[in-house]
Amino acid sequence: MAVEQFFEALPLHYLQHGISKFGFGNVALAVFATSLLCILADYAWMLYMRSKMPPGPFPYPIVGNTFQLPDNKPWLYFEELSKKLNTPLITYWIGRNPTVWINDAWAANELLEKRAGIYCSRPRMLVFAELGSGQNNLVNLITTTPAQRERFRMLRKLTHQGVGIQQVKKYRSFQNDESKVVALDLLRTPEKYVEHFERYATSVVSIIGFGRRVASSEDPIITEVIALMHRAADLNVPGKKFPMLMETFPMLARVPTEYAPWKHGMGSKKKSHRGHDFFYSLASEANENPGHEDCYAKMLFREREKYGLKNQEISSLAGNLFGAGSDTSSSTLITAVLAMRAFPEALHAAWEELDRVVGPDRSPSFEDDANLPYIRAFVKEVFRWRSVAIIGGQPHAPVQDDYYKGYLIPQSTWVQGNVWAIHHNEREFPEPDRFNPNRFLKDHPDSRPFPGERGYMTFGWGRRVCSGQALAEQGTWLTVARLIWGFKIEPALDRNGKPIPVDIFDYTNGLNMRPNVFKVSIKPRSERIRQTIEREGEQALADLQPYEGETKSHRGLQAVYCHFQLFQNASINFTFSALSATFQGRGQTLDIKLGGSQLYKYVDPTDGRFDCPTNHRRNKQNIEMLRRAEVNLGALGEAVDQSCRSKTAKSQYDVVAYLLRSDRTVKRTPLWEKSDKKKKAAVSETSTE
């Protein structure tokens, strides 16, 4: 009926009249000719704009240069293209949209720093923003109107209250303690260095944001944050041909994923937005917990009414902390270890300086910074040698037409800084792939002029510079200094006793890149240093005790029961296979084989309402039991936790994290109702001690 009404509404009688009068062939020819003329006119416009803009490869109609771009490490391609055409700026067409790539430090400084007021906005980003974290996220926010600029300033101000230059100095105490714990972890299980760095970086941000540390690499915060960061980094790669075409043809985004090969690798819309619920749940829980009144989440809720913050904005601001200081910091530390392993000669001067200034009976502290110039240069070279944000983060966009050396850069054009090319230009950095801290020593022969005070452009430019820059620089300096002071970084040996080589180019392919896992030997430099690491590490754990805790929404599942009253023939969509969970029924215990369920998807984090979709063909027997049972989600949580530890499940969050935010025993009874469009669940909630 609906289909018939749809076709009746279309003016198909005009088409029928045209075909009967002129013939089908003539009508088809007219449609083809009109389409061809439109394509030619559009292509003529593209070629006209190309003649005004910086040089680049010749674009094709409709698709531009999209299919000329390699999927793997496209920044290398743009670097070579810049050298081939002998120009610092390259124009590359993704579909009908041009992107200007900056491959030179001085050009980047001129456009993105000196003209920051022009290049302060973002372009519309369908894949990166609208289908991901949202165009209203501070990181993606367009600032072409006064209202948008005012909103940007407000959100930026709130971000600086969390990780501004002066604010991060207040975090040095627990950041120092967490760094000492990393050294202790490396002493005990050096082969897990990646997990230790991820735990450290995530824990620092968690204390800042939510007032509680992350004590274990199995904490659901780590598993979810790292998964979200890696997924975003992998998606935001210019070489993803088919997803990027949606930037030119937004209507393609409306096609369901199962029928859209150009969406391959993007995941579902629900999955794309799951980070919102996750970070809002963390912030809401932190706000409800007593103590730690200075944590970032509580500040956001205090300022919520004043600034009119929406739930999504609170979620984004909290999540941006992790984007700025978690995955990026851990990736930088892994790169530092790779540099130490591949270029051991760079360590000798560092050891000499640390032994002279610090000694073996204490580890470096922030107060030693002024007396450790080589360590400072070493850390700067880590940032330069293999920058994490290899294309400078999200693209900039000019708020008006601009010109550079006679070339037009139209308003709203994507402008991207190629940090790899900038940091590997032999004019500023001779032998760029050689790790050489001497480049950053004043008056050293290896030093070269470079725009800006820092000598690198790892964290972006202008008003869009990474908000977590000060926190990352502060923590990276201390942890790298402590790592060099405490350990010998040597080749790991294979079963035949031969050194296992490392590949300094073996990095992931994403917006934030990190080395792929490599084997390395990490041992204390001396017995006295080993004793110091143990003593300071144990003391640091004691000093961090006030921040101990776990997410109540995960722990509280052990005391939570849900009662389901479902429609006939309904079933929950289970996603994991053959996972045992024990349910406490009415006077009996039911042992049911379930596939674990992504229950978090169906719980509104703002009010806890439970709305479970149905499926008429799966798990009918399980649902019949669930209809009669009060489900012990705690037992389910424990079973899933064990499954996650044994690597059966991908993430604890996939099943239980943040279903609830308290330790109370909560009974929820959905009352299923019919509406004109769909069935919904209204949940009544009662709490008992």
Binding residues: 466
Under a CB-based contact definition with an 8 Å cutoff, are residues 283 and 297 in contact? yes
How close are the terminal C-alpha atoms of the chain, in Å?
53
Nearest to 489 by CA among 443, 457, 520: 520
Tokens of 157: 């101000």
Strands 579-584 and 589-594: antiparallel
The answer to whether the Cα torsion of 109, 114, 120, 125 is positive or negative is negative
DSSP 65: T
Under a CB-based contact definition with an 8 Å cutoff, are residues 354 and 484 in contact? yes
Tokens of 265: 């690798």
Q: CA 105, CA 108: separation in Å to the nearest integer?
A: 5
Under a CB-based contact definition with an 8 Å cutoff, are residues 346 and 446 in contact? no
Q: Which residue has the tokens 């369901």?
A: 256
Tokens of 235: 């998606």
Q: CA 592, CA 631: separation in Å to the nearest integer?
A: 11
Tokens of 466: 């990474």
Strands 561-563 and 679-688: unpaired
Q: CA 339, CA 502: separation in Å to the nearest integer?
A: 10
Please return the burial class of 391, using the count of CB atoms within 10 Å of its CB with bins 0-12, 13-18 and 19+.
Answer: buried
Under a CB-based contact definition with an 8 Å cutoff, are residues 553 and 560 in contact? no
Other CB atoms within 10 Å distance of the CB of residue 418: 26
- Give CA 589 to chain center in angstroms: 42
Which positions ≥6 away from 266 have C-beta within 8 Å?
A: 127, 131, 235, 243, 257, 272
Binding-site positions for heme = 466
* Alpha helices for 365-524 (secondary structure H): 373-385, 419-423, 469-486
Q: CA 537, CA 543: separation in Å to the nearest integer?
A: 10
Tell me how many degrees the CA angle 292-298-301 measures, rounded to the nearest 5.
165
Q: From the CA atom positions of the chain, what is the Rg in Å?
A: 28
Q: CA 253, CA 245: separation in Å to the nearest integer?
A: 10
DSSP 192: G
- Express the helix, strand and coil content of the chain in percent, nearest 5 each: 50, 10, 35
Tokens of 258: 């199962």
Nearest to 437 by CA among 352, 345, 328, 521: 345
Q: CA 144, CA 124: separation in Å to the nearest integer?
A: 11
Q: Which residue has the tokens 């200075």?
A: 294
Q: What is the largest CA-CA distance in the chain?
A: 97
